[in-house]
Amino acid sequence: MLRRLFAEWLGSFSLLATVIGSGIMAERLADGNIAIALLGNTIPTGAILVVLILVFGPISGAHFNPAVTLAFAIRREITARDSGLYVLTQIFGGISGVLIAHVMFDNPLIDPSTTVRGGLGQWVGEFVATFGLVGTILGCLKARPEAIPYAVGLYITAAYWFTSSTSFANPAVTIARGFSNTFAGIQPANVAAFVGVQLVAALLATIFFNWLLDEKPLRAKA
């Protein structure tokens, strides 16, 4: 269990270091072009997800996301106790990743975001992003488990651009990004609503895809 928790911590740490670090670098190099900055933030995030899932998947399952942990808890593939430990580790790892990104780029260590991300459009965006992410994982787990790292990386890369919220889709990431007044930040006052929507989306996605992917009706029909 210690190895599993360390894998979740290191994966979450690396994910947030990438999200925040690439956001800072992209904003500094984009010369005010927000589209270029977003692209510079998107590509490293999708790429690091592939790497992290390939590396840590065999150890902890590579959740790095309380919404994903919730999905597997609903499916009874992880216990309630282990789920709680995973979530705490993911949050702590994410915040640690933000801090190291700030150190690398000479930003204030603790610098709460002032970026407002609220309103119906943003919440719907987060619902769509999280619902799709859980569906991607469960669908690949059923049909092509070896494709999960690539599918998740590609999904998040796409969702950065097709969702109004730029696809946080992760409560631990959302909480951690509240500590960073940078391109990828979110105002702390907006965090609770994002997290609530993400968890509801994960719950509904798990229920829906468990039904959709159930083999029993197909076997019975055959």
Share in percent of the chain as helix, strand, coil (round to 5): 75, 0, 25
Assess whether pLDDT exceeds 50 at residue 3.
yes
d(CA 128, CA 167): 8
Residue 68 token pair: 């994903």
Segment 45-85, tens digit of pLDDT: 999 999 999 999 999 999 999 999 999 999 999 999 999 99
Instruction: Quote the pTM value.
Output: 0.93
- Residue 55, number of CB atoms within 10 A of its CB: 15
Assess whether pLDDT exceeds 80 at residue 217.
no
- Residue 104, number of CB atoms within 10 A of its CB: 13
Write the DSSP assignment of 98-123 as a string of letters.
Answer: HHHHHHHTT--SSB-------SHHHH
Domain range summary for the chain, segments of one domain joined by +: 2-212
| CB 37, CB 59: distance < 8 Å | no
pLDDT band at 216 (very low <50, low <70, confident <90, very high): low
pLDDT of residue 214: 85
Q: What is the DSSP letter of 64?
A: -
Assess whether pLDDT exceeds 50 at residue 222.
no
Report the Cα 165 to chain-centroid distance in Å.
Answer: 13
- The CATH class for the domain spanning 2-212 reads mainly alpha
Segment 179-197, tens digit of pLDDT: 999 999 999 999 999 999 9
Assess whether pLDDT exceeds 70 at residue 150.
yes
Assess whether pLDDT exceeds 80 at residue 134.
yes
Task: Spell out the residues 6+ positions from residue 61 whose beta carbon is closer than 8 angstroms to its own.
Answer: 4, 72, 78
Mean pLDDT estimate for the chain: 95
